Structures are given as C-alpha cells and as structure tokens.
Structure 1
Amino acid sequence: MSGTRTLCCHVNTATLSFAIIYLIGNMLKLVGIFLTVSWDKAEDSVYYHESKALKGHRVFDISTNILMLVLMSISAVLVLFSQRKGPMFVLPFSMMMMVELSLSFLSLFNGVWGLPGTPSYRDMLKAVRRVPALNEEEIGQFTMWYSVLFMVDILLKVYVLQVSMKCFYAMKEKRVSAIHVDTGNTVTVKLPSYDEALKMKAEDTPPTYQEP
C-alpha cells in the first residue's frame, strides 16, 4: 500500500471524509446535550442541602463537555481548509483523536473520564436495568455487545488517527518539494563553439605554468 493511499482512496480524501462525519457527530451530540439539559429535572428530586452541590457539579460537567465538543468541532472544520492552508490544519484533528483515545481508555476505569455526549457503560447499564422486561441473560448479552462495539470504536479511532497522520506527512512532503522547485536557482553558461575557440586571441588563454 502506498504511503499516500488508504484502502481505496487518497489519505487526503479519507481524512476529509472522516472530518465531515466527525463534525456532524459532534453537532448531534451538542444538540443532545442541550435537549437533555432543557428536559432534565433531576435536581428537583433531592433535598435542598444537596441541590446546590448537585447543580454545581452538573454545571461544571455540562460546560466542560460543551467546551470539549466545540474544540473537537473546530479541529474538524480546520481540516476542510487544509488543502489551501497547509498540513498544520490537519494536526489539531490528529491531536483531538489522541485525546479521544485517551478518554476512551480512561472511561474503562472511571465513567467520569468518558467522552462528552457519549454515555458510559455504567449509565447504559443503569438504563437497561430500569427496563422490567429484561432478564439477567438479556442484560448479559447487552454487556457483550457493548464490549464488542466499544472495541470496534477504539479500533476505528486508531485507524482515523493513523490516516490523519499519514495525510499530515503527505501534505508536508508535497509542500516542501513544491518550495524546493519554486526556489531552485539555475545558472546557464553558454560555451563557445569549436570555431569560436580557435579564433580566440592568444592573450585570452591562461598563462602557462613556469617553475620559479
């Protein structure tokens, strides 16, 4: 496989496609967060001395999630201008993919470190257990499918990170080679013909070497 190709397309095309899908997904997550905040009334069901702590925690959690999604969206938008602006516009997208991979692994140990707009395993399990029609076997199947989808998501993010880095180096190499071509200086020297060399004056020839 060539260094500038992945599967059946160029790495630039693949990175641009991933960035568009990534941007759409982040926009949907932002809409979901705003809808959840507008509909969620969980703080009304707790005592007054706990409501302030719960509200402060929720405000911090929601604000950090929104900020994270905004940064992710900006990194995806920058990829759309990378063809004209240069490879540095791809680098933020690759860095955000590294952050997503780190948060995905950290969510295995604590759901607080999960990705913004993405429910953790504990949240999904609580939601499934609220359904009275599900038995223990069906909950176990849900756990198995969640684990499989989680690993597929991790592998997909690793692949997107690899493609974006290949795109960055390919664009950087292309730009460096273009700069070398544009700034290359050439010197053309016209040599005399044989007849012109014979007609040269004797004083134009270099002096012969003589020992002192």
Structure 2
Amino acid sequence: MSGTRTLCCHVTTATLSFAIIYLIVNVLNLVGIILMVSLDKEAFSVPYYESKATRGHRVFDISTNILMLVMMSISAVLVLFSKRKGPMFVLPFVLMMFVELSLSFLSLFDGAWGLPGTTSYRDMLQAVKSQMRVDRLNEEEIGHFTMWYSVLFMVDILLKVYVLQVSMRCFYALKAERMAAVIVDTGNTVTVKLPSYDEALKMKAEDTPPTYHEA
C-alpha cells in the first residue's frame, strides 16, 4: 500500500470524496425505502424475486436493507473525522466496502443477496420488459441486454475495488502520519548551555571541583 496519491489528488482527499458520495446515495436510498413502505407501494418496494415471499420475509428483508444502509452511512460519516481523529475512523468504511464487494459477487447467484438500492439481473430484465410492454424478449434482445448488463456490472465491480484500494491506502497513510507525529512529540532532547570562552577564562580556580586523594 505504498504511495499517497491517486489520479490527481491525495488518497485522503479521494477517500473523503468517496465517503461523501456514498453518504448521499445511501441517504437517498434510505429515504426511498422509507417512503415506499410508508406509502404502501408494495409493487415497487418488493423486488421481483420476492413477489411470492411472505409478509414476514418482506419485513425482514426491508429491515436488513435499512440496517445495511444505516451502517454504511455511519461508516461514511466517520471518514469525515479521520483527518483529526486518526486512521481507525477509516477502518469501518474499509470493512463496509469489503462487505459491499462480497454482496455484489453473491448477487450474481441469488438476487436476494443484492445490496439495497441496486437491481439484480432478473429485476432489470423485468423492468426492461415492462418498459417495452412485452411478456418476453427475443434472442437478439436478450443478447444485447445481457451484454450491457455484464459491462455495467463489471464497471461497478471495478469502481468498488478501486474505492476499496484507495480507502486502504488512506488508512495506511493516516497511520504513518500518526506514527510520525508520535515520534516527534515523544522525542527526548537534552540541551546544555556551555560557558563562553571569556567566561571560561574568568572562572576562578576554586570553581573547579576539588581533587580527591586516597587516605
């Protein structure tokens, strides 16, 4: 994790920018979920893979989504104080990025693992069919849709990996700065004021310590 610059800015500045963006996105997703639940818009608040789920499962899924968004928002807020408080305030954001990246890979196998505010392949396919007002896409349309979804998914994964790498470099950079500051603060220096040449000449013989003889 060497180097303290990424692209055109310091890793601390980049991590702070990413944290602000994540905070805004998470708050918007959280507000959207709360509004959908309060307005009882079940068709929009429940993904396609949950269309046949029980009410208890839906409540559990909504609760876990809200908890995930709250934790991600808190980790982003902590980054805002990392410059003054130290590298440990970046660590929760790094851990949440690990969790988000893991869930993104798991969503390929099951849409239920998808992150709150993101859509799975099946949900996106249903949205496209609803937009085109058709019940089924032909092979060419399915091929184009799969290609575009794969490209966007890989771009999203690469961006998350980049944010994770930058946040980890920020953690080590802040840790190195904190260690350097501690070494400077705790360094012991001894200063001795020596007499000048004229003062040394004026010193009397009795000012010198007495000599000791064996009895």
Question: Secondary structure, in 3 states, of the residue corresponding to 1:189?
Answer: coil
Structure 1 residue aligned with 2:91? 91
CA–CA separation in structure 1 for the residues paired with 2:159 and 2:43: 35
Shift of the 199–105 alpha-carbon distance from structure 1 to 2, 3 Å rule, reads same
Say whether 1:67 aligns with 2:67.
yes
- Listed one character per residue, the Cα deviations across residues 50-85 of structure 1 (whole Å, up to 9, x for unaligned) are x9x610010000000010011001101111111221
Q: Return the TM-score normalized by structure 2.
A: 0.81
CA–CA separation in structure 1 for the residues paired with 2:7 and 2:180: 25
Residue 160 of structure 1: how far off its partner (Å): 0.4
Residue 199 of structure 1: how far off its partner (Å): 6.4
Structure 2 residue aligned with 1:168? 171
Structure 2 residue aligned with 1:46? none
Shift of the 192–109 alpha-carbon distance from structure 1 to 2, 3 Å rule, reads same
Question: Secondary structure, in 3 states, of the residue corresponding to 1:154?
Answer: helix
CA–CA separation in structure 2 for the residues paired with 1:199 and 1:40: 97
Greater displacement, 175-184 / 133-142: 133-142
Of 155, 158, 161, 1:158 maps to 161
Residue 10 of structure 1: how far off its partner (Å): 0.6
Shift of the 144–82 alpha-carbon distance from structure 1 to 2, 3 Å rule, reads same
Residue 136 of structure 1: how far off its partner (Å): 3.3
In structure 1, runs of 5+ residues without a counterpart are 43-50
Say whether 1:177 aligns with 2:180.
yes
Q: CA RMSD in A?
A: 2.7
* 1:1-212 alignment runs, 5 A limit: 3-37=3-37, 38-40=40-42, 54-130=54-130, 131-132=133-134, 135-191=138-194, 196=200, 204=209
Shift of the 151–206 alpha-carbon distance from structure 1 to 2, 3 Å rule, reads farther
In structure 2, runs of 5+ residues without a counterpart are 45-51
CA–CA separation in structure 2 for the residues paired with 1:206 and 1:87: 59
Q: Return the TM-score normalized by structure 1.
A: 0.82
Greater displacement, 142-151 / 196-205: 196-205
Shift of the 183–110 alpha-carbon distance from structure 1 to 2, 3 Å rule, reads same
Q: Percent identity among equivalent residues?
A: 75
| Residue type of the alignment partner of 1:80 | L
CA–CA separation in structure 2 for the residues paired with 1:166 and 1:206: 63
- Listed one character per residue, the Cα deviations across residues 95-152 of structure 1 (whole Å, up to 9, x for unaligned) are 1000001101111111111111211112112332343195432232111111111111
CA–CA separation in structure 2 for the residues paired with 1:8 and 1:40: 45
Shift of the 165–200 alpha-carbon distance from structure 1 to 2, 3 Å rule, reads farther
Question: Secondary structure, in 3 states, of the residue corresponding to 2:115?
Answer: coil
Residue 206 of structure 1: how far off its partner (Å): 7.7
